[in-house]
Amino acid sequence: MKGDNRETIIFSFLSDTCEKQKEEGKIIGCTTEYISKALNMQRTYVSSLLNNMYREDKIIKLKQKPVLYLIKENNTVKNKNEAVKGLNFKALIGSDKSLKQCVQQAKAAILYPPRGLHTLLLGGTGVGKTMFAECMYKFAVENKILKYNAPFISFNCADFANNTQLLMSQLFGYKKGTFTGASGDKCGIVEEADGGILFLDEVHRLPPEGQEMLFYIIDKGEFKPLGEIKNAKKVNVLIICATTEKVEDFLLPTLLRRIPMIITLPYLKERTLAERFELIGEFFKIESTRIKREICATPEIIKSLLLYNCVGNIGQLKNDIQLGCANAFLRCVSKGNKKIEVDISDFNQYVKKGLLNYKKHKNEINELVNEDTTYVYTPRGIEKLVEKGDNKITSTFYEEIEKRIEELKKRGISDKDIQMIMSIDVDNYFKRYIYKIDTTVNRDELLKVVDESVISIVEKFIKYAGKELNRLFPQKVFYGLAMHLSSSLERVRHGKKIINYKLSEIIEKHPDEYAVSMRFASIIEKEKGIKFPLDEVGFLTMFICNDIMNEDKELNKPVVLIAMHGVSTASSMVDVVNKLVGENNTYSYDMPLSKSTDKAYEELKELIIQIDQGAGVLLLVDMGSLGMFGELISEDTGIKIKVIDMVTTLIGLECSRKAVLESNIDVIFKEVVDKIGYSIYYERNSFNNAALDMDNIIITMCMTGEGSAMKLKKMIEDNVNFEDKNIEVLPMSIVNEEDMNFKINKISQEKNILCIVGTVNPKIYGIPYISVSELFKDNKYNNIQVLVNNINSNLLNEKVEENSDKEVTLMLDNLKDDITAYDFEEFEKLILVFIKNIEERLEIKVNVDKKIGLAFHIACGIEKLKMGEVLKECRNAKHIMDNYSEEIKVIDEEMYIIEDAFDVKFSIEQCCYIIILIKGIRE
């Protein structure tokens, strides 16, 4: 039976791989080389067994180059369950994720005939080497490789490391009289392990003579106790060693050569947060069993345990949870409480600091930890989740914040810890408040709960903020802000304190939004005759940057990694990609031809762990083994990796550009692969590079793809008269709400959006929405026609142009007295010519505000140059030059009329400032 084990291992591995490929959408199969490397078996032997299985009609063989093997569909599930039992490995947390490769290797080591493979486990302190060795033993017993009563002997070489003779005698035993005190023969643990498994932990502490005796046991199955000269003892033992050290520095090469299976267990930081969440639950379950009581844990405790720097890995995590439970047990028992309520104050300070890392992993943590839940652990696991409160929204979230602070104080949490907890909780309360806003209510219904003067203030604020920040706001922001401001004004009138624990962070991260809110707060103070607190200004800011605060774009986007053979092939390509895209989301790995695949694999894995931001890695490779690394590294680390081969600069550009805009790696992968079928190119009609000729836009939008949006475009163009109108219909396909809001915001920065027609209501404040059903049933083409016919009266673009030159001149007249270094009247004439030339050559319309800003900027620039001063450098010059090279060329040429008249020279960087002003780009 043992002779068939290797075939069973290969069949099981092939079955697992094909099943995973099926889940991803397509079964590709495996090559002989891929299987042999994954299972550490000889390629020729693997090929022989695969062909045997093919002849027995167990698997499918695709005769191509290279040959691929895959499981028959009707055999996949059945044989996977029957192949090997492995129940204990499956119960191991992470066995199907970060430990999957380790488990496969361990099974191969146990099942390999005739008696298995001696194994070395590598990994830092506390990664779980002892438990993993025990799982290998149980697996061997379950599969009848070992007898049910076979011994498992565990020995830590560090316990006797300071006394070499004692260490050797413990391992190998001794004869009577060998040393003082040896009053009789004694067998060692090697002999005790006969017929089973000997686990030697910290084997690097074993002296050279002990290592020599070990490899003699491995070679001959024999050893001599200390003091024995003639007769060697026979043993049949499988040796599993473990160490935290670099093996080349401590183990003899002769011993290493005799241990064919080396398994590296991952550090806790290399494992997924989902696995760590499971581990936390398991350890609380163990403590609940120990003390025979329920243990309740709050969300902030779970977050802290998920995010703190646990240098001692799983072992330290377990100990820290045990210590926290012990402190909570003492506190609760002294109060007579039956349940043990674990508080954040029960843990060490370094555990509490885990909350400081919340922002980096916000989305992933929120998926794992429910903010409204107390986690109750029993000997059976997480038995129940107790919801705190209901989902009913009130007109304010101040009460929720105050209630939370009071609760923390009652629990004896220090003020410092309360501040740290609340800095996270305020964000969550705010997000919940916005999420629950009912956008189906209209202004009349809002008037029933909010005073008209407050609604009027909010309408002005939204309009003002939108103009200053060049941004659109969802309807939720308008309704939520109205109800919040009403409550806030009431609190101020009654002298109730307002505390915003995120104020410093808001000011630091969102200075533009905070400045807008500050200016508007002064208007509220004048209209309402009150003193508006700075903390409340922070809350106003949270409303107008809500989309920014919740998206966390940079933290939740896939990254691109280009890996190629050669000394600098990949890095050179990445330099080009990052420069052209204007981002730094693409990384490189160069693999010299002289580098071994093992070393390259480890280096690439480490790089992927470093660059992953939680949304996955697009791995672009040229050829060879690099293509297979993606799947293996994904199995090792739990990081989602999508591989695209035959990489070119154009493929790199496309992946990098899409990774800036899209957070779903599967969507990016599909779109890029679909294009590779014929060619990679930049879509001329893509919204980000749209060459839209008209100033006014009607957006047609569908979730199902651009084809549906194109049909809507045609229907509108067939039924609405656009003759002599400055209007264009833009079809847009969207993936999710974030993608939709991002694209609409991008368009609104340069164009006026008349309305949106589609299948999903984006609920953007101030932009009409017409559903597809309304278009068909209610003939809403008339509504669109009304918008089109009234464009001149409703939109400012046409009106502004009539008087914009006069407004520019009026502004410049106010500046005239302050400019003394040159002929200002001449400048007034030339600046209008300059702006007109720019508009004509770039085919754009510059509104009056931008004209005034442009004139003011250039007028002051000439003054400074005439006075011998140096103009301020543009921080974004490189990005602007990379993305607006043609526009900069035009501006530089047209600037000549001003430079020649006043004998000054504006640098290319100053032309970049003009682009920023015209395009409304934020520095």
- State the DSSP H helix or E strand holding residue 238, giving kind and residue range, or none if neither: strand 238-243
What is the Cα–Cα distance from 885 to 863, expressed in whole angstroms? 27
Same domain flag for 300 and 354: yes
For residues 508 and 506, give the distance between their C-alpha atoms in angstroms, rounded to a whole number.
5
Both 382 and 283 in one domain: the answer is yes
Is residue 247 domain-shared with residue 276, that is, in the same domain? no
Of 737, 765, 794, which marks where a domain is finished? 794
Tokens 């005739």, residue located: 114
Let me know whether 251 and 123 are in one domain: yes
HSE-CB of 562 using CA atoms within 13 angstroms = 28
Q: How far is CA 921 from CA 343, 789, 888, in A?
A: 47, 31, 14
pLDDT in the model for residue 55: 80
Same domain, 648 and 599: yes
Q: Judge whether 54 lies within some domain.
A: yes
Task: Tell me if 776 is assigned to some domain.
Answer: yes
Is residue 157 within 8 A of residue 208, CB to CB? The reply is no
Instruction: Kindly indicate the confidence band of residue 785, based on its pLDDT and cuts at 50, 70 and 90.
Output: confident
Name the token pair of 522.
């002064």
Amino acid at 546: N
Element (H, E) at 752: strand 752-758
Pair 222, 288 in one domain: no
Tokens (6 digits) for 845: 């319309």
Could you tell me if 669 and 694 lie in one domain? Answer: no
Q: Which two tokens stand for residue 833?
A: 């010519």
Give a yes or no: residue 103 inside a domain.
Answer: no
Residues 455 and 515 in one domain: yes
User: Which residue would you say has higher pLDDT here, 688 or 115?
Assistant: 115
Whether pLDDT at 427 is above 70: no
Q: pLDDT of 297-335, one tens digit each?
A: 988 899 999 999 999 999 999 999 999 999 888 888 888
CA-atom Rg of the chain in angstroms: 35
Across all residues in the chain, what is the average pLDDT? 79
Q: Is 404 a member of any domain? A: no
Q: What is the CATH number of the domain that holds 714?
A: 3.40.50
Q: Are 446 and 486 in contact (CB under 8 A)?
A: no
pLDDT band at 678 (very low <50, low <70, confident <90, very high): very low
Residue 751 placed within a domain: yes
Residue 58 included in any domain:
yes
Residue 887 zone, left/alpha/beta (φ > 0; ψ -120 to 50; rest): alpha
Question: Which range marks the domain in which residue 277 is found?
Answer: 271-389
pLDDT at 1 over 50: no
pLDDT value of residue 352 = 86
Residue 687 has pLDDT above 80, yes or no: no
Indicate which CATH number applies to the domain containing 501: 1.10.1790.10
Quote the CA–CA distance of 165 and 219 in Å, as a whole number: 23
Q: Are residues 730 and 700 in the same domain?
A: yes
Residue 193 lies in a domain: yes
Selection from 725, 905, 706 nearest residue 798 by Cα: 725
Q: Which of 794, 815, 845 is the last residue before a domain boundary?
A: 794
- Quote the number of domains for the chain: 7
What pLDDT digit, counting tens, does each position of 339-363 carry? Answer: 898 988 889 888 988 888 887 787 7
Residue-wise pLDDT tens digits, 850-869: 776 677 778 878 888 888 77
Distances (CA, A) of 591 to 563, 569, 570, 640: 7, 9, 9, 22
- The CATH number linked to 626 is 3.40.50.510
Triad 115, 49, 47: Cα angle to 5°: 115
Q: Using omega within 30 degrees of 0 as the cis cutoff, is the peptide bond preceding 66 cis?
A: yes
Note whether 558 and 547 are same-domain residues.
no
896 and 808 belong to one structural domain: yes
Strand partners, 586: 560
How do residues 797-847 score in pLDDT, each as one tens digit? 333 344 567 666 766 665 566 677 888 888 888 888 888 888 888 888 877
Asked whether residue 98 is domain-assigned, the answer is: no
Model confidence pLDDT, tens digit, residues 212-239: 889 889 999 999 898 888 888 999 999 9
Mean pLDDT over residues 870-878, rounded? 72
Picking from 729, 763, 794, the residue at the C-terminal end of a domain is: 794
Instruction: Examine the domain organization and report whether 541 and 620 are in the same domain.
Output: no
The residue with tokens 């002779």 is 3
